[in-house]
Amino acid sequence: MTQPFTLTFSARSYELNEDGNLHPAVYAQWFEEAAYHASKNAGFGPDEYVALGTAWVVRELDLEFLADARFGEQVTIETWVSDFRRVRSHREYLARRARDGVLLARQRVDWVYLDRASGLPRRTPADMAARFEPFGEPVLKDFHAPKFSGDGAPRFETTRRVQAFEIDEMRIVNHPHYVNWIQEHLREALAARGGNADALKNARHFFEFKQPARRGDVVTLCSDAANVDGALIWRHEIKRGETRLVESYTRLR
pLDDT at 1: 45
199 falls within a domain: yes
141 falls within a domain: no
Q: What is the CATH number of the domain that holds 224?
A: 3.10.129.10
Give residue 62's domain range. Answer: 5-131
Same domain, 124 and 25: yes
Same domain, 168 and 68: no
**Residues 244 and 222: beta-carbon distance below 8 Å:** no
233 falls within a domain: yes
Q: At 171, give phi and psi (nearest 5°).
A: 65, 35
Same domain, 40 and 126: yes
203 falls within a domain: yes
pLDDT at 168: 94
What is the mean pLDDT for each group of 10 consecutive residues in the chain (253 residues)?
Answer: 86 94 96 96 94 96 96 97 94 97 98 94 91 90 82 86 96 96 92 80 92 97 87 92 96 84
Residue type at position 92? E
Residue type at position 131? R
**Residues 220 and 158: beta-carbon distance below 8 Å:** yes
pLDDT at 152: 67
Look at the chain and report how many structural domains it folds into.
2
3-state secondary structure of 80: strand
* Alpha carbons 1 and 133: distance in angstroms, whole number: 7
Same domain, 39 and 78: yes
pLDDT at 2: 65
Same domain, 117 and 82: yes
Same domain, 98 and 163: no
36 falls within a domain: yes
Same domain, 124 and 164: no
**Residues 121 and 114: beta-carbon distance below 8 Å:** yes
pLDDT at 193: 84
pLDDT at 89: 96
Same domain, 120 and 180: no
pLDDT at 207: 97
Q: Which residues contact 31 (CB under 8 A, 6 or more apart)?
A: 63, 77, 79, 93, 95, 107, 109
Same domain, 25 and 89: yes
Same domain, 212 and 114: no
